[in-house]
Every structure is written in C-alpha cells, then in structure tokens.
Amino acid sequence: MEKRTLCLYFQVHQPVRLRKYHFFDIGKNNDYYDDFANRTYTRKIADRCYLPANRVILDLIKKYGKNFKVAFSITGLAIEQFQKYAPEVIDSFKELAATGSVEFLAETYSHSLACLVDEAEFKRQVKRHSEVMKDLFGMKPVTFRNTELVYSDEIGEMVANMGYTTMLTEGARHILGWKSPNYLYTNSINPKLRLLLKNFRLSDDIAFRFSDQNWDQWPLTAEKYVSWLTAADGEIVNLFMDYETFGEHQSAGTGIFDFLAALPGQVFANSDFEFLTPKEAAAKHQPVAPLHVPYPISWADEERDLTAWLGNELQNEAFEELYKTREKVNALKDEALIHDYNCLQASDHFYYMCTKLFADGDIHSYFTPYATPYEAFINYMNVLSDFILRVDNEYEKQKGKTSKRTKKTTKE
Amino acid sequence: METRVLMFGWEFPPHIAGGLGTACLGLTKGLAKQGVQVLFVMPRASGDEDQSAAKIINASDVEALYDYRDIEEYWKNIRFMEVGSNLIPYMDPERFEREVNRNVHERTEEHKIGFKNKYQFSGKYGANLMEEVGRYAVVAATIARQQQFDVIHAHDWLTYAAGIAAKRVSGKPLVVHVHATEFDRSGENINTLVYNLERQGMEEADRVITVSNWTRDIVVRRYGIPPEKVVTVHNAVDFQSYSDMKVERGVKEKVVTFLGRITYQKGPEYFIEAANKVLQRYPNVRFVMAGSGDLMDRSIRRVAKLKIATKFHFTGFLRGQDVQKMFAYSDVYVMPSVSEPFGISPLEAMRSGVPTIISKQSGVAEVLKHAIKVDFWDVNALADAIYALLAYPALSQFASKYGLDEVNTLKWENAAFKLKQIYEELKR
C-alpha cells in the first residue's frame, strides 16, 4: 500500500522592532529601530530555538538520510537580523540546505500583507524574497507560503501567475465544512496551483498545547502523537507552525526537543507515513477538488481571518497611509528608504494594534511589546509620518532635478 | 431580612465640591435598587464651593438636628439626616483654619447663632477641623444609640471618627470607604493628624473598601492594613440624566483640556510642560486649564514664562452646566494626576465623546481600555499622546467611539452589589 504523507513546515520570522519614537523626532530623526531589543531578541531566540532546533533536525537527517524531510520559510527581515546579530544561524540553515532534505519556501520579503494591496507590489516583494533564498541556499523556491498563511482565490491566482505550483494555507473549518484538510486541493481559478492545508488540530497540539498541564492529554509523547496521526483520515497530514515553537513558545524544559527528536523514529516504526516536503507532497498526490475561498483566510485566532491585522479603524488607517506612498518609494529606488519601507510593512505592526480583547487576547498580549493598541498605533504613526515626510522630500528633490535637466536639454 | 446601613458622609448632590458626593449618590441609589436600607448622615454645611461662613455658622445644634427628608419616591429606602457641622470637604486643617478665621472676621455678628452647651463652636480664633471631626463623632454616637441598623459605613477620613464612635456605642461592624488618602492629597508631605485619623479608622474597621487597586495598595503599604481586610470596589458613573450638548466654537483651533482642582494631586504642571512641547510642533491647537486651586498662580506664571499664554487659557472654577460645556468644547481631555484614587472626570469626558488621556497613577486606569494611559511624570509620553490624538484622526475617532461605549457599561449597580455582599458577610 502506498504510504501516506507527513509534511512538516516551520515559519521563521522576526520583525524589526521599532523604538519609542516621539512626535518631536518627526522630521528630525530617521533612526526608527530599537537596536538593543532587536539584538537581544534575535540572540535570545537564536540560542534558545533556531540553533538547537536546527541541530536536532540536522542530526535527524544524518540519522535517517533522505527519509526525514522538512520545509522552512524565513522572512527577509529575519535574515537581515541574523546577518547583523547572529550570523551562525544563517550558517546552520545553509548546512541544512546542503543536505538536500530541506525545502525553502517563498513568501513576501517583509512578512507583509501586500497581497491585499495590489499585484505589482505583492510580486515585487515576493521576487525580492525569492532572490535572497536563492543567494543564500542555492535554490529558487517553487512553493509559496503567504504571510500568516493568508489565502483567497484571487491571491492564489496571483501566486500561480508568478509561476509557483504549490501553496500552503490554513485548513480553516469555515472554508472546508465537511471536507478534510488531509488531501491535496487546487485553486478554484487556476487549477495548476496545488494547495496544502494545515491540519490545525494536530499542528496546535504541538504548537500551543504541548506544555499545557491542564490539557487532558498532557504529557504528549511521540508515541501517543503518532497514534493520533495513524488515526487521522486522508492522505496527507500537514503540520505547519512557527519554528519558535521549539525552545521559545515551548521552552526546552518542557521536553519539546526530545519530542521532535523522537518523532521520526516513532513515525517510521508505528505508522504508514513518510516525510515529504511540500513540493514533493504536491507532486505525489492527486488533487481531490478545487477549494473555493472567496474571502481571505489566515492561520490566526479563532476566526482564521484577517481581523488580527486589519479591521479596526486604527489598523485600517495605518495600513492605508503606509501603502499610499508606495509608488513614490518604488520610483525613488533609494535603498535606505526601501529598507525602512520593508520594515514598516511587517504585519506584526498591525497585529499590535488589534483590539480584539476576547478569546485571543492572551495570545495577542504575549506577542506585543506595547501595553495597549493605542500605544502601538501612536508610535507606528509617528514613525510613518517621518517616513512619508522623507519620501515626499526626496520625491520633490528628484522631480526638481529632472525638470531642471529637461529645461537644460530644451535650451540646448 | 433587609440589611440596614448607617452611613456617614459629608456631602451629597446637589451640594457637592468633588467626586465624593456623586459617588455617594450613585452608591446609595445602587444599594436602594438592591433592597438595602440606608440612613445617610451628613453635616449640613458641606457642599457648595462657596463655603461661606454664614452656612457654617448656621449649622444647628445636635438636639435639633433630626431633619428627615424623603427625597422622591424613588428614595424610599434612603433617609437623610443632616448634622450641624463645620466640616468642609477638600480642605486640610491649616487651610480650614484660615478660611474660618477670615469668615469669622468678616461676619462677626453671626457668631451668636451657634451651638448650644458643650458642643459650642469655639468660634473666634481657635476653630479647627479636628474639633469638628470630634464633634461629628459625638453626634454620631447619639444617632447610633437611637437608630436600628446592621452595619456602619463611613466615607473618607472626616467621618471615620464618627464611624468609630458609632461602632463603639452599637457594637455593629464598621466599614470604612477610602475615596482618597492623605498621600493622594499631599504627596509625601502628609498631615500626620489626618494620617493618624485615617489609619485609626482603617484599623478599627472590619472592612476597608478602596475605590481602586491603586488606593488599595496605598492602604496596605502606607497604612499597614492587612490586605485580606481591604477590598476594592471600583466607582462607576450614572449618565441617566445626561443629555448631549452642542456648543458653538469660538476658536477654529483644536482644544485640549485639563479640568479639575489645580492642586499638587492633579499634576497641572505636567499638563503645562506637555502643552509647551506640543505647541512647538503643532500650532493649530489651544490648551485650557479649567478649575482653581492653590497651584493656579504658579501655573499661570509658568505659562507666561514659557511664552505660550496666547495659546494656553485659564477659565477659573467651572460649575454645573459649564463643566459639560467645557467637555463639549474639547477635542482632547487630559487627567495627568500624580495620584488619583479613582477619577470620575475622564468618564464624563468620554461620555461627551472626548478622547481621553489619563495617568497610570489613577484608579480609573484600571477599568478603562479605551483611554490612552501614560505615567504622569512622563511629559514626553503625554505630549506624544496629545499630538497623536490631534494629528491622527483615525485615533481620535476610534477612542471617542469605543470610549463612549465603554463608559456606558460602568454601572453603580455592580459596585452596590459588591457592597451588599460585604454587608451580608459582616452581618453574620
């Protein structure tokens, strides 16, 4: 009998944190970042999570050869910060890339929500990211994962137009209805794009519940987990999660690394699963149906929609103002401005402004450096105001230059 | 069996000088709805800002003090009792003495109307607040001997002695309600007489109720009261009779308002310094400091020195309708209090749809999500918040809309329900 597929994919992202930026800095100071916090966090998470987790995965690949495979997506902003503060993290990902058992996925460079703005902007950012991946790891990504697994029929179509054959998204219950996430689906507009859907129950068992002592399944062993996998329906189980699950959200003391190290052995011994990367999984299985997703979905919160980042008046205003200036920024081709623009686009900034205070409040407050969404908005808008001023000034200058030049030419 | 409460206050609407009377009104109303009977005792001469000597001296003697009133049918559970007294809220003993002396000078002829026998108001030059507090206690003892009740409830330090006296006479449990402490009013330069009276009240009480966790912390830390005895019951607001007000603006600039007593506790200097910073960046704005108090002159001098007086205005004390009018006139309301046990006025501002900035050192910060919170001393953060509310319309619209929704959910019934539970616990 043909083996079923287990697909592991881990997301690596670190936003560039903004410093406390006062309104009197506007127009005077274009240093927006909290270097101390960025260095401290990057170092801390590298030491707690990325380095030890990469070591576990490398050991597993050495032990099981081509039988153990994983996929990563690393944002451009995370890469920038590793280069600055923890270059050995990049080396260790390169080492993983060299094994041939790891697939690197494409996404937007800045972990942005550009897919909601327009196709050109979205494309520009995906291209930038895919170039970085090729430079660092020697392979051009063929599978796409969008920021926060945001997906809709239209977004999928844009992704297919960029030449990607496989895309990852959430197995949202309200989209699937009676259908199972454990099969291969296709985009409903362009059937060439194959969709892998996250099994959120089995993913969250590891990502969120692993160390929860009030959970009736605690403690979770690899053996028990594999028995759940075996009991699952369908052909593919997609376990998608933040890489920070290992060592950061679930600290080393909870036994999460031991769990990860023990999992493949248990899978090989006690199940009919094999490990494949997303592109291999999409090639192996036959799609069962097109998936209709008229409105964007994501992997966040109970609603699995966009309301963690967009929806309230503060988020909408900040988002609109940010993208109003995109044409000028792109026309200027100024690296310093583009760098700042990338940093400001990270979806995290909008997440901090979220005012949903009910069920997901805990998770939100865990991830935000601001005491309230108001503070997040004020600080972001101050930075953005300065950025817009700089863009406008530069733009005027360049326009002045070009018009002078044209005048000269006409005189001559 | 219905619970009967003997409550000692010192002011009650419409004659109020601060938030305490409003709070007492809200609480007693809420208790009435919960079926708790309240006998509310208060000194007659409290109230009006114009604490004139005539009123003080007109106070009648204890033998003639039983003056029950049933205010509206709604109040069938609440009886009022007025006690002749010189108690003046929001005044420290030194200032009280000054005020009384001045008034005594001005109206010598009225001295003759006064107090009988042993309760004689000493009148001339030795008048002091502590004597009045003591006298109120004697009156309280008399009342406690004559009335039937289950629990005694005393609001703030002026009435603690009365509460203690009533407890000693009746043997009934005592609840003291801390609306403010001496540390809020005076910072570190506390009046030890007041402090001692406060501490004695808290020590003798069977339960101490604080209006916020901020105050609860002060009570536990600075007064050494065992934490298990101290319970927080957050204040609320009653906007039932509130009507929206439209005003014609005389100025085209946006208006940022400070409204409250201009005293150490309210942090007026931080408002001025922040205003100065904002004005350097954002010209299209005016600042208003509404209220009066002992730091007013100093504040005016500071504004003049900063050369922002054409954009920074003082209104003096506002009363009644003018307060609401001021809110209707405002685009941003700021309460930079150094130590605010609760703070009702931000709620009034939010009820008027005004985006509000409050200090983290206020009790009201514990119940509000849709106000911007800053440390009172962090002038930069305050300036930032003011600027953001002026410069980013999405922010002010958001804060205004959700702030209004939020204050409408704060109900006195909830506070009264908690109180009732405390009473019932003590009755047992």
DSSP for residue B348: H
3-state secondary structure of A34: coil
3-state secondary structure of A166: strand
Residues comprising chain A, all counted: 412
Where do the domains of chain A lie?
A: 4-291, 313-411
Strand A289-291 relative to strand B4-8, pairing: unpaired
Q: Is the pLDDT of residue B80 over 80?
A: no
B394 touches chain A (CB under 8 A): yes
Q: Is the pLDDT of residue B56 over 50?
A: no
In 3D, which of B295, B287, B236, B221 has the Cα closest to residue B265? B295
Please compute the mean of the pLDDT values over residues B110-119 and round it to a whole number: 30
Q: What is the pLDDT of residue A206?
A: 96
Q: What is the pLDDT of residue A369?
A: 85
Q: Which residues of A touch B393 (CB under 8 A)?
A: 317
CB-CB contact of A15 with A346 (8 Å): yes
- In whole angstroms, what is the distance from residue A299 CA to residue A305 CA? 7
Q: Which domains does chain B have, with CATH numbers?
A: 4-236+411-427 (3.40.50.2000), 254-407 (3.40.50.2000)
Neighbours of B357 (CB within 10 A): 27
Q: Is the pLDDT of residue B111 over 50?
A: no
Please compute the mean of the pLDDT values over residues B130-145 and round it to a whole number: 79
Q: How far is A21 from chain B (nearest CA, A)?
A: 9
- In whole angstroms, what is the distance from residue A175 CA to residue A293 CA? 7
Q: Which residues of B touch A317 (CB under 8 A)?
A: 392-395
Q: Is the pLDDT of residue B123 over 50?
A: no
- In whole angstroms, what is the distance from residue A350 CA to residue A129 CA? 21
Q: Which residues of A touch B385 (CB under 8 A)?
A: 378
- In whole angstroms, what is the distance from residue B314 CA to residue B287 CA? 9
A365 touches chain B (CB under 8 A): no
Return the higher-pLDDT residue of B356 and B80: B356
Q: What is the pLDDT of residue A40?
A: 96
Q: How many CA atoms lie within 13 A of A231 on its CB side?
A: 7
The minimal CB distance from A378 to the residues B277, B280, B385 is found for B385
B402 to A382: CB separation less than 8 angstroms, yes or no: no
| CATH 3.40.630.30 at A4-291, yes or no | no
Beta strands (DSSP E) in A70-117 are 70-74, 102-104
A148 in catalytic set: yes
Nearby residues of A311 by Cβ (< 8 Å), 6 or more positions away: none
Nearby residues of A53 by Cβ (< 8 Å), 6 or more positions away: A243, A246, A247, A257, A260
Q: Is the pLDDT of residue A167 over 60?
A: yes
Q: Which residues of B touch A357 (CB under 8 A)?
A: 369
pLDDT confidence bin for B106, thresholds 50/70/90: very low
Q: Is the pLDDT of residue A410 over 60?
A: no
DSSP for residue B335: E
ipTM for the complex? 0.73
Q: Is the peptide bond before A219 cis (omega within 30 degrees of 0)?
A: yes
pLDDT confidence bin for A94, thresholds 50/70/90: very high
DSSP for residue B257: E
Q: What is the pLDDT of residue B14?
A: 61
Least confident of A346-350, A379-383, B183-187: B183-187
Q: What is the pLDDT of residue B241?
A: 63
Q: Is the pLDDT of residue A36 over 90?
A: yes
Q: Where are the alpha helices (DSSP H) in A250-334?
A: 256-270, 278-284, 313-324, 326-332
Please compute the mean of the pLDDT values over residues A289-314 and round it to a whole number: 91
pLDDT tens string B246-295 = 777 778 899 999 998 899 889 999 999 999 999 999 999 999 999 888 89
Beta strands (DSSP E) in B16-147 are 37-43, 78-83
Please compute the mean of the pLDDT values over residues B403-421 and round it to a whole number: 91
Residue tagged active-site, from A80, A103, A121, A148: A148
- In whole angstroms, what is the distance from residue A372 CA to residue B3 CA? 42
- In whole angstroms, what is the distance from residue A7 CA to residue A290 CA? 20
pLDDT confidence bin for A145, thresholds 50/70/90: very high
pLDDT confidence bin for B117, thresholds 50/70/90: very low
pTM recorded for the entire structure: 0.80
Return the higher-pLDDT residue of B2 and A127: A127
The minimal CB distance from A24 to the residues B281, B391, B398 is found for B281
Q: How far is B387 from chain A (nearest CA, A)?
A: 7
Q: What is the pLDDT of residue B9?
A: 82
pLDDT tens string B178-236 = 999 999 888 888 888 889 999 999 999 999 999 999 999 999 999 999 999 999 999 98
Least confident of A87-96, B226-235, B319-328, B408-417: B319-328
Residue of B392, B402, B404 for testing the chain A interface, max A β-carbons within 10 Å: B392
Q: Where are the alpha helices (DSSP H) in A99-190?
A: 119-137, 153-161, 173-176
Return the higher-pLDDT residue of B336 and B100: B336
CB-CB contact of A309 with A148 (8 Å): yes
- In whole angstroms, what is the distance from residue A142 CA to residue A193 CA? 11
As a whole-number percent, the residues of chain A with pLDDT over 70 amount to 95
Q: Report in angstroms the alpha-carbon separations of A339 from A30, A315, A329, A396, B277.
A: 12, 22, 10, 20, 31
3-state secondary structure of B177: strand
- In whole angstroms, what is the distance from residue A330 CA to residue A162 CA? 20
Provide the angle, in degrees to the nearest 10, between the axes of the packed helices B379-391 and A373-411: 60
Residue type, B58: N
Q: What is the pLDDT of residue B16?
A: 58
Tokens describing residue A307: 């309301």
As a whole-number percent, the residues of chain B with pLDDT over 90 amount to 44
Return the higher-pLDDT residue of A192 and B122: A192
Q: What is the pLDDT of residue A365?
A: 65
CB-CB contact of A108 with A133 (8 Å): no
Please compute the mean of the pLDDT values over residues A60-89 and round it to a whole number: 97
What burial class does residue A270 get, using C-beta atoms within 10 Å of its C-beta: 0-12 exposed, 13-18 middle, 19+ buried? middle
User: What's the mean pLDDT when you consider all of chain B?
Assistant: 79
Closest residue of chain A to B385, computed from CA coordinates = A378
pLDDT confidence bin for B124, thresholds 50/70/90: very low
pLDDT confidence bin for B92, thresholds 50/70/90: low
Q: How far is B340 from chain A (nearest CA, A)?
A: 20
Least confident of B43-52, B147-156, B268-277: B43-52
User: What's the mean pLDDT when you consider all of chain A?
Assistant: 93
B394 to A316: CB separation less than 8 angstroms, yes or no: yes
B384 to A382: CB separation less than 8 angstroms, yes or no: yes
Return the higher-pLDDT residue of A168 and B37: A168
- Rounded to the nearest 5°, which phi and psi values hold at B70? -105, 110
- Rounded to the nearest 5°, which phi and psi values hold at B17? -115, -15
CB-CB contact of B178 with B219 (8 Å): yes
